[in-house]
Chain A
Amino acid sequence: MPTVAPLDLEGHCIATAFLGGVPHFALADGVVHRLDHGHKWTELHDGLLSTAYDAARSRLITGGEDGKVCALGAGDAVEVLAEIGKKWVTSVAAGPQGAIAYATGKTASVRFSDGKVKDFVHPRSVEGIAFAPKGMRIGVARYNGATLHFPATEGKPVELEWAGAHTGITFSPDGNYLVTTMQENALHGWRLADGKHMRMSGYPLKVKSLSWSVKGKWLASSGAPAAIVWPFVGKDGPMGKAPLELGTRGNAAVTCVACHPSEEIVAIGYNDGMIIAARFADQKEVLLRRPGKGAITAMAWDDEERRIAFGSETGDCGVIDIAG
């Protein structure tokens, strides 16, 4: 039986992460809590807005209302990577070779591990930012599409157009697809080889959480009474195929999804705080956490694939041990 070790905090949890095996909980007030032989915390920002987990370096990249970009590593190691001023850092991303990226207003910036920064100014606001899995390439979600930049070279950007406001962005782990969340209740995708469009719509709510399954075969998403899981196997991706609908509940909405690191299983968090795990193959479900105070906003698996650190908009966080 799964067991839950609760951590009751005050405030909206933006992200959770295991850093050096220790569960961390990053709250909107800028304080990152951790369960490391007791409850400890670090104040990173005056207001946290955006986070990205840097798996290669086991650190959490954070962007704040204070215009700072920080990296929090295991053992409470804090590094300030950028200080922009008074503007909000609305999106951050972690890339290869220690590079990170961040967005403020219309500017997307890439900071290389040697501290050199390259800015890309856009005609409209940068809504989301992500690194491609291979090569030094970033994708920017913007109004009416996405833009790809190659920060290590002077190459021209690649513009991908699709009408509407694109608010978030992710590359598939094999680098073949780019998917954006939109202001409307839909995802949009491009096959990067030929720019072919993929429309993934029909959500009753905005999609705020995306998670790629192992090897990028599936993309799980929130925004419906079930986790909507699109197949990205085969050369056409999800086109012409129906998604899986896992963990359907009549009276609740999925607000957060996190795929298992090595198996085709997804942890599904709902707006009432409940968390389940569902297996793609047979749609079998296991209850991991009963409903709590508020919507699940963050989940992360540990490297041992045994624990999930979760957080909610009301601060009732915790760690689920799957094996119990």
Chain B
Amino acid sequence: MSEAQTQIPVTVLTGYLGSGKTTLLNRILSENHGKRYAVIVNEFGEIGIDNDLIVESDEEIYEMNNGCVCCTVRGDLIRVVEGLMRRPGRFDAIVVETTGLADPVPVAQTFFMDDDVRSKTKLDAVVALVDAKHLPLRLKDSREAEDQIAFADVVLLNKTDLVTPEELRDVEATIRAINPAATIHRTTRAGVPLETVLDRGAFDLKRVLENDPDFLEAHDHDHDHECGPDCGHDHHHHDHDHDHHHHHDHASPIHDVTVQSVSLRGGVMDQKKFFPWIEKVTQLEGPNILRLKGIIAFKDDPDRYVIQGVHMIVEGDHQRAWKDDEKHESRLVFIGRKLDEERLRRSFEACQAA
């Protein structure tokens, strides 16, 4: 039995109260796409969700008993998914709507760390809804808003009609600073074509990064991390002779970002050096890494190797052959906190094949 055929895709919707999650959810459920969804919500809200199959579950974060504090799963999702999958004929996909304050990480990790859930479902994408008007305030008073953006594959920058073009640009720059790998869509009333949020395959190694034009381009806003003078971050200004420059010319006036991203670029890598390195980095820095994604070129290997991870969980696989006109190079982005960019860069570059 092929797992690929039987795994039900799961889309996770995050976002603060009022960001438009329910609007998007109702569009997913009501539009004529011929698919049936099972919806898992934390509370049957006041605003109605029009669907036959809605399951309410109490957010239940369980630390795994392996001594790793970032290895958390959502116990309620394990139980609900297990129950739903016993009657699989009722739906084609699952949408998990989280509460505004929910941490997206345990939700996502459930789909990697629990063997039963993993064998029957696959995480498709984490979609974050952001209220363009209120994001600056949210970032000021909570860490969750930032985590939700940092962790997302797709960000819907919603309610754009409520802000000026300047405000919108700043908010988008902030989102981009928190998460350079996410796809951002500007919307009003969550009005995006549904294919931009569904069936993304964001965690599918065969497809990972396909939808990340920004990441794939040699863009130069690698670390345009908005910080004011009082910000507690380490800034490593250094003059490397390659195309990584730290510059703050997109800098928004928003000073409440604690997530940073580190984009690394290198040549052809030595497998014997790279794998122990990535393992060590994720073991040691796992708690600080929210997401990582990369394309690695290995010496004597005709295929692109893609890698993605959440905290300490790392998955990698060969994706496809390098095309003739493609430069064999390696790119890796870390999104997280307290990342030592200089050290990551140095040790990453040390993995290059001689």
Contacts and interface: CB of A to CB of B under 8 A. Distances in A.
Interface string A156-181: 00000001110100000000000000
Contacts of A163: 63, 65
A40 interface: no
B78 interface: yes
Contacts, number: 60
Interface string B36-65: 000000001000000000011010101111
B87 A143 contact: no
Interface string A129-152: 000000000000001000000000
**Residue with the highest number of chain A CB atoms closer than 10 Å, among B58, B64, B86, B116:** B86
A143 B44 contact: no
Interface stretch (A85-93, A94-102, A225-233, A278-286): A85-93
Given A86-B56, A87-B56, A183-B62, A12 B86 contact: yes
B115 interface: yes
A209 B73 CA distance: 22
A320 interface: no
B62 A206 contact: no
Contact of A125 (B44, B65, B75): B75
A90 B57 CA distance: 11
Contacts of B76: 125
User: B interface, by DSSP: helix, strand, loop or mixed?
Assistant: mixed
Interface residues of A, number: 28
B250 to A, nearest CB: 43
Interface string A28-71: 11000000000000000001010000000000000001000000
A14 B86 contact: yes
B229 interface: no
Given A182-B65, A183-B78, A29 B87 contact: yes
A82 interface: no
Given A90-B79, A183-B75, A106 B64 contact: no
Sorted nearest first, the 10 A-B pairs with minimum C-beta distance are: A164-B65, A28-B86, A12-B86, A165-B62, A125-B60, A105-B58, A184-B65, A28-B87, A165-B75, A125-B58
21 contacts: A12-B86, A28-B83, A28-B87, A29-B87, A49-B83, A65-B55, A65-B83, A87-B56, A90-B83, A125-B60, A143-B62, A163-B63, A164-B62, A167-B75, A183-B64, A183-B65, A183-B73, A183-B75, A183-B114, A184-B65, A205-B115
Interface of B: 44, 55-56, 58, 60, 62-66, 73, 75-76, 78-80, 83, 86-87, 114-116
